Structure 1
């Protein structure tokens, strides 16, 4: 396993970049309605969440103010999970696989990890 340790920073950077891209793309979908069946009202809570996803996702992808962007995105996903998915009942609404909150929960913890670790490699935070 020590042979794999030398790839930890580039692998983490790829995780950060791909996750930032996917998160930002989802925010773009919310804001523009592209390939989404719903209309989001300007200034609504969902619209603000989409804006955070777009801007935060791009910042994480580029590694620009990575820790702050990831912390904001983590909190946004935690709020999304608690407000829209989690219900305090041990039926179908309690478990993430059943309340469709898996991705919000994964994003919340993944961005918390990114906030703790920072940009590390291939990021604008390290550009001099």
Structure 2
């Protein structure tokens, strides 16, 4: 059974890439435009940089254009966000609100190595 499922690995990777990118874009639009829910305040300084990486990097990852480069930058941004903003609040990710940052970090790190999968502008 798993051999047959393995034939769909490129499509499953693409679905992971697309869903993660859509959620990542949502974080950027929240910070920049207050959509889909209002942000806590205007994006300034490092929050503005993070919002631009989330929006632009998310779009690149979504369509599969320069996926490995965009995912590398996004992964690093998520790691920095976790250690700078979340970790000082509490040791446990569920207590400091950083579980999404950790998950994004490792999903994007995986995309650096795996590539975009099927349904992408660039195949490598």
TM-score computed with the length of structure 2 as normaliser: 0.91
Give the corresponding residue for 2:46: 45
2:38 to 36, 39, 48: 36
Q: 1:126 Cα shift?
A: 2.9
Task: Name structure 1 gaps, 5 residues minimum.
Answer: none
Counting matched residue pairs gives: 122
- Runs of 4+ that moved beyond 3 A: none
Give the corresponding residue for 1:82: 83
Aligned positions of 1:1-128 closer than 5 A:
1-34=2-35, 35-42=37-44, 44-87=45-88, 93-126=90-123
Q: 1:4 Cα shift?
A: 1.2
Q: CA RMSD in A?
A: 1.6
Larger RCO (alpha carbons 8 Å, 6+ apart) = 2
Query: Greater CA radius of gyration, 1 or 2?
Result: 1
